[in-house]
Amino acid sequence: MTERPVIALDVMGGDGGVAVVIAAAELARERYPRLMFRLYGPEALIRAELAKAPRIAAEAVIIHTDTKVLGTDKPSQVIRRGRGTSMGLAIEAVRAGEAHAVVSAGNTGALMSMAYLSLRTMEGIDRPALAALLPTLKNDSVVLDLGANTECDAENLVQFAVMGAVFARTVLGVERPRVALLNIGEEELKGTDELKEAAALLRAVALPMEFMGFVEGDKIGQGDVDVIVTDGFSGNIALKTAEGTGKLVTGLLAEAFKTSWLTRLGYLLSRGALRALRAHLDPNAHNGAVMLGLNGLVVKSHGGANVRGFANAIGVAHDLVVADVARRISDDLANFRAHRPGPAALETAAR
Amino acid sequence: MTERPVIALDVMGGDGGVAVVIAAAELARERYPRLMFRLYGPEALIRAELAKAPRIAAEAVIIHTDTKVLGTDKPSQVIRRGRGTSMGLAIEAVRAGEAHAVVSAGNTGALMSMAYLSLRTMEGIDRPALAALLPTLKNDSVVLDLGANTECDAENLVQFAVMGAVFARTVLGVERPRVALLNIGEEELKGTDELKEAAALLRAVALPMEFMGFVEGDKIGQGDVDVIVTDGFSGNIALKTAEGTGKLVTGLLAEAFKTSWLTRLGYLLSRGALRALRAHLDPNAHNGAVMLGLNGLVVKSHGGANVRGFANAIGVAHDLVVADVARRISDDLANFRAHRPGPAALETAAR
């Protein structure tokens, strides 16, 4: 694209407030000099922070609002009266074509509901999916859906696979991503009918990905698959369980180092390496869950993201905008529709 | 119970073969002197190993068979021709009342299918559930179902909660276990209709447990809940993801320690504590997934369990037999049925 990428920022969304968001925009601009920002939130506060952000201050557009979505707001409430909030206005900017993407660290349910209602799904996509990067022993993997859709049919899963593969090509730079469906066994017989049908469809059509069949939850951390496709319920369970287990192991590790003066000394000597381990697992390094499949890009930052974390979320938005992800998804879906087998051929492929 | 507990052992099931199973039985007998064993497998091999197991050798009953279920056998194959295998005969012993429980380290799918068909569900239970212990920052937690049932309704989940609570009272020794339903959010509005209805039912009836509502996957490792109830698909995903993440973090840790001579020295000094950490996470310490809800107890050991791991699985079987778990489950279910609210009252409770 020759146009400069414009990102709409909900400056009131995160736990760190306006200061973190503006500092993150400044940092992101350092990495991507062509980025432009539209800032949604309280003007006086934004101006005060912009005084410390010389790179973006001159070109940033401020759209004032004092109201914001709260973490405790239910999606139904937000849908009724969220339009004037910093989040609602930032989404609206994408719908109106004033911005290419919106980044918010606010209430996930509210962001997904408002974005869905305002932007609507792109042609060929029945439901949007929430995708994010997870750390592995090798490169990061993309996992989707992470909670937008509790129940999914085979078509949804195929669409998620297509979107996840485009995401991996763009953000991870993997030319031909290895894609697998999350299941409770690797054998063809295991799992729900939806999963079996989705596997048959992905096997039947040549798409710009390496379809690997089914993968179990214990393989997520191995990094042998680039894209893990699942319904939102299982995806959310897997993501949260991985987070919890990560905390469990690092918590036990911290206790283990405290057992004696010898282990304390051991900790002191190893702490550089342990810091690298923590950095590898740090959610801020993998920040930016993306809602894919809407007419416009929506990036959700962790609520607790620091400046670097929020800047990473902006970076993800930048990469997806510059790569014209929506067009790529459209092309792959058109290709899929043109070559998808009929029910009889699918029956044969499923054997 | 005044009778001595009799355990039927499939000696051909695990990767470690007959030697591990017999040595494990010997170790378990050391802990529980009243245990008796029926051993299903090749007689000559069993006799050779019993020569090294003086505690159990005299009283052990050997039932000879040369055939076994393979790890690659599909449940459908096993159901047709699994009866004469070491696993099939050991299950049959429970059905015939010759043993109180069966322990096998063989093919999980085959064990569950054969046990289900042979033993059938106990009265008041629609489907059996696979339960296991997971390490947490505090005490172990029980998680069920772990893969026996891909899809579950509210009644199934309530029955799992009752069985899981009995399991926690027996094996963990928690008098009033805290029980929660695994969900993708803690709010009442989140999740499937089945989960919401199960929550309303568990809230409405006073059972010997503390019902905590919904819990997310990241709380599994915290140890603030004793029993986590879920359908088999999500449970399997959560269990496998936890395993995979545990391996990821310990793998990264091992790499971190190799980065320099300083970190290597740090490792040497800390290795006692790190060994304790590994032990805490070692699957052998938490061995023995239990199939609950059948007319007879079925304990599944990890295929790769060592002597200590398999002995732990036998120990779990012993505890459940001695505590007369089946009767406790029956009592709690009868209590639930007697007090369960009608649909109208449930509707009110769900608000």
| Pick from B241, B256, B274: CB nearest A273 | B256
| Pick from A137, A239, A240: CB nearest B252 | A137
d(CA A122, CA B301): 49
* Probe site for chain B from A240, A257, A280 (most B CB atoms < 10 A): A240
Compare all CA atoms of chain A with the CA of B280 and give the residue at the minimum distance: A252
Q: Tell me, yes or no, if the two domains A1-119 and A127-285+325-351 fold the same way.
A: yes
pTM of the model: 0.85
Model confidence over B131-189: pLDDT tens digits? 998 888 888 899 999 877 888 999 999 999 999 999 999 989 999 999 999 998 877 77
Contact between B150 and A192 under an 8 Å Cβ cutoff? The reply is yes
Residues 6+ apart with CB under 8 A from B58: none
d(CA B302, CA B288): 7
Look over chain B and give the mean of its residue pLDDT values, rounded to a whole number.
89
* Beta pairing partners, A41: A64
Cβ-Cβ contacts under 8 Å, A268 against chain B: 266
Contact check, Cβ <8 Å, A250/B249: yes
| Pick from B237, B256, B260: CB nearest A237 | B237
B2-41 residues touching A, CB cutoff 8 A: none
Contact check, Cβ <8 Å, B270/A268: no
The label of the residue with tokens 């129940």 reads A151
- Number of Cα atoms under 13 Å in the Cβ half of residue B343: 0
Cβ-Cβ contacts under 8 Å, B261 against chain A: none
Q: What is the pLDDT of residue A350?
A: 53
Amino acid symbol at A78: V
Is residue A148 over pLDDT 90? no
Burial bucket for residue A58 (CB in 10 Å: 0-12, 13-18, 19+): exposed
Model confidence over B257-305: pLDDT tens digits? 888 888 888 888 888 878 877 777 777 777 789 999 999 999 999 888 8
d(CA B166, CA B326): 9
* Domain A127-285+325-351 homologous superfamily, CATH: Isopropylmalate Dehydrogenase (3.40.718.10)
Of the candidates A50, A244, A76, the residue with the CA atom closest to the CA atom of residue B189: A76
Flag whether residue B262 sits within 8 Å of chain A, measured between CB atoms: yes
d(CA A219, CA A107): 30
Cβ-Cβ contacts under 8 Å, B72 against chain A: none
d(CA B9, CA B85): 12
Residues 6+ apart with CB under 8 A from A17: none
CA B239, B244, B250, B253 torsion-angle sign? negative
Residues 6+ apart with CB under 8 A from A275: none
The label of the residue with tokens 């007369």 reads B324
Residue spans per domain, chain B: 1-119
Compare all CA atoms of chain A with the CA of B269 and give the residue at the minimum distance: A266
Mean pLDDT score, A171-184:
94
d(CA B145, CA B132): 9
Mean pLDDT score, A191-212:
92
Full DSSP string of A250-296: HHHHHHHHTSSHHHHHHHHHHHHHHHHHHHHH-GGGG--EEEESBSS
Is residue A2 over pLDDT 70? no
Contact check, Cβ <8 Å, B253/A253: yes
Is residue A141 over pLDDT 60? yes
d(CA A174, CA A225): 11
Q: Which CATH architecture has domain B1-119?
A: 3-Layer(aba) Sandwich (3.40)
* Probe site for chain A from B237, B260, B274 (most A CB atoms < 10 A): B237
Of the candidates A289, A346, A282, the residue with the CA atom closest to the CA atom of residue A320: A289
